[in-house]
Amino acid sequence: MEPIAVAFLVLGGAGLVVLLLALVLGDLDLGDADGDGPFSLPVVAALLGGIGFGGAAVTAFLPDLPRPVTLSLTLAGGLLVAVPLAAGAVRLSAGLRDMPTEPTLTRSHLLGAQGVVVSGVPAGGLGEVRLSVAGQQLKYHARSDVPLPAGTPVYVVDTPTETSVQVVSTAPEPPLLPAPGEPS
């Protein structure tokens, strides 16, 4: 194997080592305040790996040329691989850093949530409701001023604790049936 190919393979291996360091240690401050730019560890790893492995691949296709010409072509081929890899690493890490996320749910997020009674809620006692909050189905302990049977649709009016809610029924009132012996 050509000494130039071996040198570029070692350079590519160094890129893998830097990538492993980035995975284990996280980002180190390499001069960029965000830790995410042209001098972050993933970008350095992409540059070293691209130049090394890209350059080693180029040496496999080159005919026997003078060493300076071989070195120049190998370096150019490695850069052709490394620059898009480094640009991709910058974009990927920026995309991961700037990814929108939802805030952690708090008691205030539960106010106004709608759900259904899972296990009956006795008047003044604890039952269980399933609420739809931020697109998720979550179960909470529930209290109500009136008894609520399982299957009753409910609305959260208060959150006494992080794990319990005060609910009211949103079921339509049942029609009043006439008492026996009264005309309808």
114 and 89 together in one domain = no
- The answer to whether position 184 is within a domain reads no
Q: Are 32 and 38 in contact (CB under 8 A)?
A: yes
**Tens of pLDDT, residues 13-67:** 999 998 888 878 776 655 555 555 567 788 888 999 999 999 999 998 988 889 8
Tokens linked to 85? 């890899």
**Residues comprising the chain, all counted:** 184
Q: Which of 16, 11, 17, 39 is nearest to 27 (CA)?
A: 39
- The residue out of 78, 97, 116 marking a domain boundary is 97
Q: Are 99 and 67 in contact (CB under 8 A)?
A: no
pTM value surpassing 0.85: no
**Tens of pLDDT, residues 125-139:** 899 999 988 888 999
Q: Which domain holds residue 119?
A: 107-169
